[in-house]
Structure 1
């Protein structure tokens, strides 16, 4: 729990409540008695009586603050609300009673009317205000406790969300690695120069993944540059069996995407399609407007698909959900499969 400052309350609240207490004392006494006293007052008497009211308000609230601070250290609210409330109220009432008793030991001029009746009135007001003050401090304690709990819960949720995003960004299809290692093995024997280039592109891909693993959004232009290295691997493997076209767009320089979004969409298209040199897989990346990007491919679905975890699209959907962004829109026809994803304006 944080330590609270009552500086402004002390500065403005005490005089304000002093005025209120003075008005209460005027209202609860018969008008004749009040006027009979005021008839003999000088300006200094009015100032003195008003000062007493401010002093009494200060005593009421200051004792409440000090008792609250002390009990918070030695007997807090957790698990003992009733007993804590009773102890605080009784302590404050006892303190007020002692101070009022001492105050009325002084002999004031008869015109003030500070008699036994006035003493009881002030004590009753003190008891009522002690109950209200204790209730206010109890409410304040639980309000700040609730706020702190909400703040910790929100912070924990943010950390959890960030952890989930990190896990999703590092989530790779094991087949991608195994397939590329197999291809490198074959190239080393038959085409060593191509194998070197292939390994270089493969390392740049993983370098990109590691370099951007802490970022939730990356420029579309950077993602497209990464895609060029990524597609090189498939060109070596499938030749002209895969044809990809990327539309030019000015939005690519100012808009962003979650890292690896395009890679996952392209991999999804390749994984779920059958293609050859005679019937190539055509993937188009285009920008219908400044807010979205579309990845679409001709539909050449495998007759017998291997088991698919649909990890790619699930990964993208989950990342957009965690970032509180519109989910990707999937459109499928007999001849085309299209995914439209939102882009983010970079700061």
Structure 2
């Protein structure tokens, strides 16, 4: 128990001691005021420290967030036992040891009612503290999860921007290599290539800040880029586009085709006798880039920027994978065609939203239950007091106590027992059964 808690208990002792001295003590003397403080401290410190030790022990063993049901059940059992024992101990010290009353009447008459009333007040205060501890733990967990998901989202966005920034220097470097080769081979073609390259680079600058572009836009750009490649390689390279019209309005990551076309040219040799045949087509929700394998010997190991860039960008946008297939005859890359626009931050933010909604719903349920419990603990002792004072021969308080208690028990079963968690499990079982058919 920390210093703040001890100060709070001291203030509670002061107010209770002062209140009992002012309203329930006939003789007003400093000695009696001090005695009231001692008795108030006996109750306050004994019950508070006892509940605090039990609460701290359970918090170390069971988390309010991860072990909610176990923590709640053990908390209720522990709170009942501790408060009954401690209240009876304090009342014994007060009535039997200090006031010298007959122990035979300890559980009956006025002392029996005081025992019952004090236990209920103690349980009421303990329930408030447990509810406060639960809400604080859940809010803390929710805040941590929100912060974590925001960090993931920022990290994903930064990583995506970094990947996109690779495209400019990568495209420019490869284009300049082609241009350098053309200057020596065919200066006129080099001039036309320079003019066309400026148009293509304009597209690169326009699209590089986008996370997704339509398949139609990407195919048009790839066609223009293929015309440039044919300027250099002439009949050594052929291109065949066969994309379904229904896929043209869907989305792919920008410049993915240009990177894959570069990859094919870079890693394969092409001659008039053995042309490199590149085919671009769509099938089953994927865009295929396939070429016959005529692998050239690499003077140095490739940096692998093209393929790894595409794989990483898709990983930030969707759970669908990029597939790379290679055999002795062909090399093929399958990139997912996305039917709706997404962003690199969609996945983390949706997880954050779901987690926050579930946490808010859970906190609302628990607040409702504890509010009901507090009302029960406060009202029922008051009804018992009224019943005993007005008609001691007929104990009608049992009816509201059992009726309300039954409703409270059903509410507890719903909140901590089978509620929505059970419903979700049953729904999932039905879905799994239907999917397996």
Distance 1:198 1:88, change over 3 A: farther
2:187 equivalent in structure 1 = 190
2:412 equivalent in structure 1 = none
Distance 1:82 1:308, change over 3 A: same
Following the alignment from structure 2 to structure 1, what is the Cα–Cα distance between the partners of residues 184 and 272? Answer: 21
1:302 equivalent in structure 2 = 296
Given that residues 227 and 263 in structure 1 are in contact (C-alpha distance below 8 angstroms), is that contact kept between their aligned partners in structure 2? yes
1:243 equivalent in structure 2 = 238
RMSD after superposition: 3.3
* Superimposed CA distance per residue, residues 111-141 of structure 1 (whole angstroms, 9 cap, x where no aligned partner): xxxx787667545533433233223223322
1:340 equivalent in structure 2 = 334
2:220 equivalent in structure 1 = 225
Given that residues 288 and 294 in structure 1 are in contact (C-alpha distance below 8 angstroms), is that contact kept between their aligned partners in structure 2? yes
Distance 1:271 1:85, change over 3 A: farther
Which of the two has greater helix per residue?
2
Distance 1:298 1:162, change over 3 A: same
Following the alignment from structure 2 to structure 1, what is the Cα–Cα distance between the partners of residues 333 and 308? Answer: 13
1:303 is paired with a residue whose SS is: coil
Q: Tell me if 1:318 matches 2:315.
A: no
Distance 1:297 1:119, change over 3 A: same
Distance 1:117 1:97, change over 3 A: farther
Q: CA deviation at 1:213?
A: 2.8
Distance 1:274 1:117, change over 3 A: same
Ranges in structure 2 where 5+ consecutive residues have no aligned partner: 26-109, 342-437
Q: CA deviation at 1:203?
A: 2.7
Distance 1:125 1:94, change over 3 A: farther
1:264 equivalent in structure 2 = 259
Q: CA deviation at 1:224?
A: 0.7
Q: CA deviation at 1:212?
A: 2.5
Q: CA deviation at 1:222?
A: 0.7
1:178 equivalent in structure 2 = 176
More contact order relative to length (CA 8 Å, sep ≥ 6): 2
Given that residues 89 and 134 in structure 1 are in contact (C-alpha distance below 8 angstroms), is that contact kept between their aligned partners in structure 2? no
Given that residues 261 and 316 in structure 1 are in contact (C-alpha distance below 8 angstroms), is that contact kept between their aligned partners in structure 2? yes
Given that residues 283 and 296 in structure 1 are in contact (C-alpha distance below 8 angstroms), is that contact kept between their aligned partners in structure 2? yes
Q: CA deviation at 1:324?
A: 3.4
Following the alignment from structure 1 to structure 2, what is the Cα–Cα distance between the partners of residues 296 and 342? Answer: 15
Following the alignment from structure 2 to structure 1, what is the Cα–Cα distance between the partners of residues 223 and 166? Answer: 21
Given that residues 288 and 335 in structure 2 are in contact (C-alpha distance below 8 angstroms), is that contact kept between their aligned partners in structure 1? yes
Following the alignment from structure 2 to structure 1, what is the Cα–Cα distance between the partners of residues 176 and 5? Answer: 68
Q: CA deviation at 1:85?
A: 4.4
